[in-house]
Amino acid sequence: MLTFTGEGRTSTCNGVTRRDFLQAGALGALGFGLPQWFAAQAAGAVKPAANERACIMIFNLGAPSNMDLWDMKPDAPAEVRGPFKPIATKAPAIQVSEILPRLATIADKVSLVRSCHHSGAAVHDAGWQMMQTGRLFSGGVNTPHIGSVVDYLEGRKTDLPPFVVLPELMGRGGGNLPNGQAGGFLGKAHDPFTLNADPSQPNFRVPDLLPPKEIGSVRLDRRRKIRELVDDAVSTFEASENAALLDGNFQSAFRLMTSTQAREAFDLSKEESATRERYGMTRFGQCCLLARRLVESGVRFVTINTFLTVFDEITWDIHGSKPFTSIEGMRDIVCPLYDKAYSALIEDLSQRGMLDNTLVCNLAEFGRTPRVNPAGGRDHWPLCFTVGFAGGGVQGGRVIGASDPIGAVPADRPVEPADVAATIFHSLGLDLETKLPGPAGRPFPLVDFGHREIRELF
C-alpha cells in the first residue's frame, strides 16, 4: 500500500489521525481516491492555463483502414479499393465511406490529413509511442505522452486531474514495448489518471470513488464525517487551527479527495437518458460522453482508447481472420459504434459552444495495406494513413495532403508524428520552442527540430 505519512500523529477535531487519513486505502474512502495519481503529484498547485483550450484525443487502437473509410480509391483496382463505396458529405472537399454515414453529416466540422506516415516498425506498440508522444522510444528514454507534457507545463485548472485516459490504459500490442501512455522521463507525477471501469455498465462507478473493502464500518464512518465536514463547511475548516496542522501536500490532497466537482464530473447519471443514447450505450460511446463532461469541468487533456488491446476483441485491426477482425466485423460492429459516438461528441461540443475551445483529434498507430490480403482483410502499414482534427481552432471541411493512387505513400504534404504533436501543442497555446527537463537534466525540445504544426488546418 502506498502511504503519505510524515512524522507525528496529528489528529483532526473528530479524532482521525493524519497518518490514518494519508494511508492510500483511506484516501479511497473520502470520495475521490486517486491515491496513486496524487501520490506522485508533488505540490498540487493549480497553474494558470495558457489559454482555455482542451484536447480530446481519440486513439483508434488497432489502426483503421484508410481505403475503406476516409481516403477511398474508387478508381483503383478491386484489390485496392475494397468493397465499400464513397459518399458525399456536408463538406464538398470530403468524401467518406458509406459505412460512416453520421460522419458525413458533420464533415464540415472535421478536417482530414491524408498524408501521415512514420518510420517505426509495423507493430502496434511502436506506432502507439510515435503517435502519442511524437517520437519513437530509443536508448532507454521513454518520451512523455502529449497529455503528460500538458500536465507538466500547465498543471491542473480545477480539483480534477489535468490528464485522464478513458477507460483504461492500453493493453498488449504484440511487441512488448511501452505504449506511450505515461509521463516518461517527466516522471510518474505526470502519468494520467485512468478510469479503470466501463462507463456503459448499468451501475458504473469510478473505482477510486469507492471505499476499499478492507476499511471497516467504524473507520469508514470517521472518514464520512470528514467528507461531511468539507462538503458542509469548507470555509470553516480551512480557517480552523486543524487545517493549519496539515502540510501543503496534505491540504491539496484533502481538497482533491473531497471535491464535489470531481465526483460530479464522473457521474454520468446526471445526463439525460436521451443524451446517453445519443452517444450509444457502448464503452466507447460513454467514454466520449464522459470526456465531454470532464473537459466541461476543467480537465485539460483526455485520451480515449477506442479499444484496449488488439487481442480477443473486435477492433480496427482487420487482418481478416481470427483472432483478428474481419472487414465485415469492421462494417457491422466497429464502424456503427464509432460513427455514432464520434459524431455525437462533435455535435454536442458544437451545440454547447465548446468545440472552438476543444481540439478533438483522431489518431491511430498506422494505416492498413493498400491491397486486400488473401484473408479478405488488410495488414499493418505505417507508410501512409489518415488522421483527423476538429475544433480547437481547426477549420473544418478541409483535406490536407494526399496519398498516391493506391494509398501506399504520401503524394503531397507528408506529415510525421512530430508534426501531429506540434499541432496539438499549438492548438493548446504552448510555445513549440519550449524545452523540457530531459534525461540527466539535459534540455529536451518539445518537438524535434524542423517540425511544426500543420498550419493549413488553422
Task: Please give the residue that has the higher pLDDT: either 245 or 335.
Answer: 335
Phi–psi pair at 102, nearest 5 degrees = -75, -35
Query: Average per-residue pLDDT in the chain?
Result: 85
Strand 435-437 versus strand 301-305 pairing type: unpaired
Report whether pLDDT(244) > 50.
no
- Strand pairing partners for 333? none
Q: Give whole-number Cα distances, 330 to 62, 107, 131, 327, 339, in Å.
A: 11, 21, 22, 5, 11
Please give the pLDDT value at position 176: 86
If you average pLDDT over each of 9-23, 243-257, 305-319, which comes out highest? 305-319
The C-alpha cell 480545477 sits at 158
Task: Determine contact, residues 359/391, Cβ cutoff 8 Å.
Answer: yes
Give 101's contacts (C-beta < 8 A, 6+ positions apart).
87, 339
Specify whether the CB–CB gap between 389 and 457 falls below 8 A.
Answer: yes
Predicted confidence band of residue 206 (pLDDT cuts 50, 70, 90): confident
- What is the structure's pLDDT at 248? 37
Cis peptide before 323 (omega within 30 of 0): yes
Per-residue confidence band for 225, with pLDDT thresholds at 50, 70 and 90: low
Question: pLDDT at residue 215 above 80?
Answer: no
Record the cell numbers describing residue 68, joined without a space.
Answer: 475503406
> pLDDT tens digit string along 344-357?
999 999 999 999 99
Look-up of cell digits 534525461: 439
pLDDT recorded at residue 298? 94
- Check residues 41 and 85 and name the one with the higher pLDDT: 85
Q: In this predicted structure, what is the pLDDT of residue 222? A: 63
| Reported confidence tier of residue 57, pLDDT bands at 50, 70, 90 | very high
- Band the pLDDT of 11: cuts 50, 70, 90: very low
Above 60 in pLDDT, residue 220? no
Alpha-carbon distances of 446 from 32, 143, 227, rounded to whole Å: 32, 10, 40
Average pLDDT over residues 418-436: 97
Question: What is the reported pLDDT for 14?
Answer: 39
pLDDT at 47: 43
Within 10 A of 105 (CB to CB), how many other CB atoms are there?
15
- % the chain with pLDDT above 90: 71
Q: Which of 406, 277, 427 is nearest to 358 (CA)?
A: 427
* 443 sits in which H/E element: strand 443-445
* pLDDT level of residue 269 (50, 70, 90 thresholds): very high
Task: Report percent pLDDT > 70 for the chain.
Answer: 78
| Stretch among 19-28, 59-68, 116-125 having the lowest mean pLDDT | 19-28
pLDDT for 147-203, tens place per residue?
Answer: 999 999 998 878 899 999 999 999 988 888 999 999 999 999 999 999 999 999 998
Give the pLDDT confidence score for residue 43 in this predicted structure. 39
Examine the pLDDT at 214 and tell me if it is beyond 60.
no
- The pLDDT assigned to 383 comes to 98
Domains of the chain in start order, with CATH, are 1-30+213-260 (no CATH), 43-206+266-457 (3.40.720.10)
Asked whether residue 321 carries a pLDDT value surpassing 80, the answer given is yes
Over the stretch 357-405, which tens digit does the pLDDT of each residue have? 999 999 999 999 999 999 999 999 999 999 999 999 999 999 999 999 9
Range from 18-22, 205-209, 229-233 carrying the lowest mean pLDDT: 18-22
Contact 245, 18 (CB under 8 A): yes
Averaged over 115-130, what is the pLDDT? 97
Q: How confident is the model at residue 431 (pLDDT cuts 50, 70, 90)?
A: very high
pLDDT of residue 415: 98
DSSP structural state of residue 209: G
Supply the pLDDT for residue 395.
98
Q: Which of 370, 299, 253 is nearest to 3 (CA)?
A: 253
Residue 335 DSSP symbol: H
